[in-house]
Amino acid sequence: MSAARDDLEIHLAHLTRTVDELSEVVARQDREIARLTARVEMLMQREADRVAAGDAPAADQKPPHW
């Protein structure tokens, strides 16, 4: 019975370590998502400000040689 209990404790220790590692991964991904979300919001605001100022997007402008 002691061997089975030891096996369970070992298995539990491995599972606990795996859960801790996955928790760190999720926390890191959450920080990255928050950073990227803030960056997208900044870019969207910058584009909205540019459009509000009447600047034409570069794709809509004629090349200088025209």
* DSSP letters for 15-66: HHHHHHHHHHHHHHHHHHHHHHHHHHHHHHHHHHHHHHTTPPPGGGSPPTT-
What span, in angstroms and rounded, lies between the C-alpha atoms of 48 and 63?
23
pLDDT in tens, 4-41: 999 999 999 999 999 999 999 999 999 999 999 999 99
For residue 60, pLDDT over 80 is answered with: no
Question: What was the pLDDT predicted at 2?
Answer: 93
What does pTM read for this prediction?
Answer: 0.67
pLDDT band at 51, cuts 50/70/90?
A: confident
pLDDT band at 61, cuts 50/70/90?
A: low
